[in-house]
Amino acid sequence: MMDHVPQIDPWMRRRSLPAGGERLFLPLRDGWPVRLEHWARRDPQRDSAGGHVLMVTGRGDFAEKYAETLHDLVDAGWGVTVFDWRGQGLSRRVGKTPMHGASPTGAGPGFDVWLDDLAELVNWSVARTGGPVLAAAHSMGGHLVLRHLAAGRGGILRAAVLAPMLGLAAGPLGPGLARRLAARLVKWHRGGDYVLGGGPYEPGVPGSERQKLLTSDTERYIDESWWVGQLPALALGSVTWGWLHDAFASIDTLAARGVPEAIAVPVLALIPERDGLVDSKATRRLIARIPDGETIAYPGAGHELLRESEPLRSEVLARMLAFFGEPS
């Protein structure tokens, strides 16, 4: 096997995927194709428990947004798998348009469908690598990983969740009004409509309010728009009322009595203090109920910790990998 040669150009690390990977379109239980990018450990004899990271991204994400982190992990000797959720990225879309990610009634795919998808993808990763995987999960992905663990579904050895979606800020309405309005609009069969202020994908504008919510790093922020420019099929619009309604219901399910307490896997939650998308107080409350749960806060950080400015981003990556331990 050829020696791995790390990509050292910072720009190229953000705008290319690591060499030597494999792209698959994995048909799930209903035949729905989900896109995966997979990098085996450089030493295949050691591609086993503790040596493989499953990256579980957030709503609206796609594998290329995490190109820099994928380079970091592969360069450090980890095996890595990342996938695009059903309905986004290069996975087959759902909805009245590809931009919506939800049916006209807001009925799909839904959090329970994604939860079953995650179980299949964890099982695939375990079978492919020979042992349990480590989960690095962001936002909606972190939420679904915790639901997976709470349900006793195996395959994950440890979970680091970054800005986990355990409560919603739901601006500008606030969570109370947004919850009631979403329920009403779903009942009126308008769940597939974009939420107030939402719409189809628009390229990121440096210095915009959206950037301030996500990251203080302008260059990393515009990487997303660059990737969409290269692959327009990656674009996804804002959340719909149906997604919002399902998200509140799934948050309630995870927060119910006895549910976080059933999580038997060590969990590290990394919390950005400047996050305007998820409720950091709700994160602290729920993680405190996990027997082996821990939180670390990052003052001044936006929602996307692995796309934040230096040195903060490197600190987050180092803390996550320290929690995982050395590739075994």
Choose among 108, 99, 107, 104: nearest CA to 32.
108
pLDDT digits (tens, 9 = 90+) for 290-321: 999 999 999 989 999 999 999 999 999 999 99
Q: Is the residue at 201 inside a domain?
A: yes
Q: Is the residue at 14 inside a domain?
A: yes
Q: Is the residue at 5 inside a domain?
A: no
92 lies in which domain range? 10-324
pLDDT digits (tens, 9 = 90+) for 38-91: 999 876 555 455 689 999 999 999 999 999 999 999 999 999 999 999 999 999
Domain at 15, CATH number: 3.40.50.1820
In this predicted structure, what is the pLDDT of residue 173? Answer: 83
Count how many domains the chain has: 1
In this predicted structure, what is the pLDDT of residue 182? Answer: 93
pLDDT digits (tens, 9 = 90+) for 146-194: 999 999 999 999 999 999 999 998 777 888 899 999 999 999 988 889 9
Pairing of strands 79-83, 52-56: parallel
Instruction: Please report, rounded to a whole number, the percentage of residues in the chain having pLDDT higher than 70.
Output: 94
Q: Is the residue at 4 inside a domain?
A: no
Q: Is the residue at 23 inside a domain?
A: yes
Q: Is the residue at 91 inside a domain?
A: yes
